[in-house]
Copies of this chain bind each other. A is one copy, B any other.
Amino acid sequence: MHTGVCYFPEHWPRERWADDIERMAEAGIEYVRMAEFAWNRMEPEPGEYDFEWLEAAVDLIGEHDMQAVLCTPTATPPKWLLDEYPEIRQEEPDGTPLEFGSRRHYCFNSAVYWRESRRIIENLADHFAGHEHVAGWQTDNEYGCHETVRCYCDDCASAFRTWLREYYDSIDDLNEAWGNAFWSQEYRSFSEVDLPGPTAANHHPSRLLDYNRFASDSVVEYNRLHVDLLREADDDWFVTHNFMGDFDPLDAFDVSEDLDFAAWDSYPTLHTQDAPDTPAPEEMGDDLQRAGDPDVTGMNHALYRGASDGPFWVMENQAGDIRAFPYSAEPDDGMIRLWTHQAAAHGADVVSYFRWRRCQFGQEQYWGALNNYDGAPDRGLEEATDTAAEFESLPDLDAPSGDVAILVDYDSLWATHAEAHSPDFDYWAHLRAYYRALRRRGVTVDLVSTSADLEAYAALVAPSLHLVDDDLADRLTAYVQDGGELLLTIRSAMKDEHDHLRDELAPGPLAEALGAHVAQHESLSPGVETQVSYDGESYAYQTWAEWLEPDDGTVIGRLESGPGTEEPAIVRNAVGDGHVEYVGVWPEADLADAISVGLLERADVPVSERLPGRVRLTERDGYTWVTNFGTDAVTVDAGSGTLVLGDETVSGRDLAVVDAPAHELEIDLET
């Protein structure tokens, strides 16, 4: 486990570089990411390349035995390129093109931009091929940031038609698959199909789904261009990309298939303010604003570990206060270290801070760094230095791998968000309701795609796994037959892969295994009574309720409010050696805990006591991190293990590491 940093030599006079880089080495940093937005310094005039400055910076880095991570600079095509080829600009749904002056102003389907990207990448990669201090590459930067995955230009319209022609056998096949008999939406040929532009009412959800798949695939293809060109130049480099947390429009699993591993950019105070399942900033108070929510961040670590199928990187790790929205509070003392350890515990091999020094100009002046804008150490540098030393003291560890996985399915995300059916429904938030509950029981939770090897897990949670095709249904059924424990939740398996309701009620192809089906669903506003029983206890739920009708399945819980009172809401069925359980409500925390414990027990996964507040146990390769995101101290009983880092008492914002599995530890609030 190592640390890195993001550095922009092009922002500073060359005479400062040596000093900066020397101080990075002193801080224990081993990787330096550079050049992600520097196209106009690499090619100041069309066709005139200049990599000398960058090589000089790489060489300086090498002098201190650090490694450079370079970037393809395509997120910011220079002005001369846009002026020469204005057709590369992304377009809004109403046809307004995105102008020069910020970033990500290009279309993923522009043939011209593919050609220009190829040109700069080839030249850049050729220049650094074989350089002993270039460890690898980041492609582009944060694909899709600022809502730029989905473009509505003519190039995209053509590409969408091509995509559809490949996906569907014929236009009749598409009409049938989408259900275009509805509202006279049938097409006579693929050439009649447009992008989903401005319409009077909402769009056809099946058309939107395919458009969203196409848009995500467009990024996959464009990223593959980068990967292929980089590998052609030098096969020893790694290639990664820095993703953006739980981000809707891009399928991180698909992109990652072409990468050596995935990376992501982690800003806990920003993501915690953004998350739909945290209180509004005005209500979250100091505590969350200054530390972030451990599960908002943790679930992203798990997601990109899943996308990596092993260790991942945090390419940008929050290094101080940042340009968070809406508010930018200073993190509490200790948080830079705690966030960095948390990432490592979840399987990050490198945690790279953003950035070395606050920038004196441009759009990110308010973004904190390890050093202040005068070049002197900022609040985080000492913590970063300490953390690097602590990483040194620990052995190299394999990535964590859990007994429990949550299935993440971007198709289901897009389908449910296109028809959220409630302002309070959010796919990630619903998923996190289960993630949170499992994590408060100390369990390692993998987030994996539906194409993952399901048999690797003792228990599977499929939250709002909305679209289930026959193949997936068969695999899930087989999984349970073979002894797996499957948990389905609201909206799971309601529709087929084209976002159609099936001829059978939900969970459609899994209804037989469940021994029950969903008779009704409803979305409920705050202020409406929402109570449900589970295993004889009464619990609160939120947002969504379904009324089930059992055949063979056993009713475990019933609605206790509304016209559905007494209707079954939670049903379980034994199938082969395993069980399917369906939870027809969005559980509040206590119910999510009860359901999770039941699941773990059936799956023979060891369960810890419910952890206090925001304390988390995170196990990696036999070592367990005790991270305390709260403010009250806890004590650690290390069981058979020993404390390899920290003390028996772990204060708020502090941590400890024990060389024992999580379930052996006992954590108590200090009395």
Q: Is the CB of A523 closer than 8 A to any CB of chain B? A: yes
Report chain B residues within 8 Å CB of A183.
Answer: 37, 76, 102-103, 362-363
Q: Is the CB of A379 closer than 8 A to any CB of chain B? A: yes
Q: How far is the CA of A94 from the CA of B198 in the complex (A)?
A: 12
Q: How far is the CA of A95 from the CA of B96 in the complex (A)?
A: 9
Q: Which residue of B lies closest to A46 (CB)?
A: B188
Q: How far is the CB of A278 from chain B (nearest CB, A)?
A: 13
Q: How far is the CA of A112 from the CA of B201 in the complex (A)?
A: 23
Q: How far is the CA of A11 from the CA of B11 in the complex (A)?
A: 61
Q: How far is the CA of A97 from the CA of B97 in the complex (A)?
A: 17
Q: Is the CB of A423 closer than 8 A to any CB of chain B? A: yes
Among A498-529, those with CB < 8 Å from B are 498-505, 519-529
Copies of the protein in its oligomer: 3
Report chain B residues within 8 Å CB of A103.
Answer: 183-184, 200-201
Q: Is the CB of A147 closer than 8 A to any CB of chain B? A: yes
- Cβ–Cβ contact A365 & B419, under 8 A: yes
Q: Is the CB of A373 closer than 8 A to any CB of chain B? A: yes
Among A1-36, those with CB < 8 Å from B are 8, 10-11
Q: Is the CB of A395 closer than 8 A to any CB of chain B? A: no
Q: How far is the CA of A363 from the CA of B182 in the complex (A)?
A: 8
13 A–B contact pairs at CB < 8 A? A10-B181, A11-B181, A73-B184, A99-B198, A103-B183, A103-B201, A104-B200, A182-B363, A205-B365, A285-B527, A329-B524, A366-B419, A375-B503
Q: Is the CB of A421 closer than 8 A to any CB of chain B? A: yes
Nearest 7 Cβ contacts at the A-B interface:
A179-B361, A182-B362, A76-B184, A102-B201, A99-B197, A146-B200, A102-B199
Which residue of B197, B331, B523 is within 8 Å of A563 (Cβ)?
Answer: B331
- Cβ–Cβ contact B187 & A79, under 8 A: yes
Contact of A330 with B520 at beta-carbon distance under 8 Å, contacts A94-B96, A102-B203, A146-B201 already known: yes
Q: Is the CB of A620 closer than 8 A to any CB of chain B? A: no
Q: How far is the CB of A30 from chain B (nearest CB, A)?
A: 26
Q: How far is the CB of A44 from chain B (nearest CB, A)?
A: 8
- Cβ–Cβ contact A185 & B101, under 8 A: yes
Interface size counted on chain A using CB atoms at 8 A = 120
Q: Is the CB of A178 closer than 8 A to any CB of chain B? A: yes
Report chain B residues within 8 Å CB of A192.
Answer: 79-80, 83
Q: Which residue of B lies closest to A147 (CB)?
A: B200
- Cβ–Cβ contact B286 & A329, under 8 A: no
Which residue of B78, B188, B204 is within 8 Å of A102 (Cβ)?
Answer: B204
Q: How far is the CA of A186 from the CA of B43 in the complex (A)?
A: 11
Q: How far is the CA of A192 from the CA of B78 in the complex (A)?
A: 11
- Cβ–Cβ contact A92 & B198, under 8 A: yes
Which residue of B78, B102, B205, B290 is within 8 Å of A363 (Cβ)?
Answer: B205
Q: Is the CB of A328 closer than 8 A to any CB of chain B? A: yes
Report chain B residues within 8 Å CB of A97.
Answer: 198
Report chain B residues within 8 Å CB of A537.
Answer: none
Report chain B residues within 8 Å CB of A41.
Answer: 181, 184, 186
Binary contact track A163-202/B, C-beta < 8 Å → 1, others 0 = 0000000000000001111111111100010101111111
Report chain B residues within 8 Å CB of A146.
Answer: 200-201
Binary contact track A282-298/B, C-beta < 8 Å → 1, others 0 = 11111001100000000
Q: Give the residue among A90, A185, A328 with the most B Cβ atoms within 10 A.
A: A185
